[in-house]
């Protein structure tokens, strides 16, 4: 195993742990239930997930669009139908792959 890969993994892994655990340990955002900090934190979840949707779809927009449209449509349709994250995810992936194969 290369030393540089281990060092890189350790630095990034330790930082990840500090980011994930540190704020809980320090009690950030607690105490005052109301106020700006509370609203900021309540909006963080939707903001983060919306960002990740856009950031992960954006690189795919330049390539073949038909599979992308089919994949997104399948996720939306199966979500509306079954309200299940797993089924919607798998349906989206299947639709993307299937349309990619046919296109």
Partner 1 sequence: MREETSGFASGLVTALPIALGYFPIAFAFGVAATKAGFSEAEAVMLSLVIYAGASQFLALALVASGAPVLVSAFTLVAMNLRHVLYGPALMRAAGADAARKRAWGWAWGLTDEVFGAALGELARGRRFGEPFMYGIGLGAYAAWVSGTAVGTLAGGGALQAYPAVEAGLGFMLPALFLALLLSILTRAAVPVIAVAGVATVAGTLAVSPTVGILGGMVAGALAGVVRK
Out of 65, 76, 77, 81, the only residue in the binding site for partner 1 (CB under 8 A) is 76
Smallest distance from partner 1 to CB 77, Å: 11
- The answer to whether residue 39 forms part of the interface with partner 1 (CB under 8 A) is yes
CA distances to 37, 44, 62 from 31, rounded to whole Å, are 10, 18, 46
- The answer to whether residue 2 forms part of the interface with partner 1 (CB under 8 A) is yes
CB atoms within 10 A of CB 46: 9
Q: Burial-class residue 51 by CB neighbours within 10 Å (0-12, 13-18, 19+).
A: exposed
- The answer to whether residue 41 forms part of the interface with partner 1 (CB under 8 A) is yes
- The answer to whether residue 66 forms part of the interface with partner 1 (CB under 8 A) is no
């Amino acid at each position: 195993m290369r030393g540089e890969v281990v060092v890189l993994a350790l630095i990034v892994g330790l930082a990840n742990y500090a980011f994930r655990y540190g704020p809980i340990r320090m009690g950030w955002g607690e105490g005052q239930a109301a106020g700006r900090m509370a609203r900021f934190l309540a909006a963080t979840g939707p903001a983060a997930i919306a960002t990740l949707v856009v950031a992960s779809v954006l690189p795919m927009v330049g390539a073949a669009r038909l599979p992308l449209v089919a994949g997104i449509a399948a996720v939306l349709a199966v979500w509306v139908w079954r309200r299940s994250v797993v089924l919607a995810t798998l349906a989206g992936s299947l639709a993307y792959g299937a349309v990619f194969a046919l296109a």
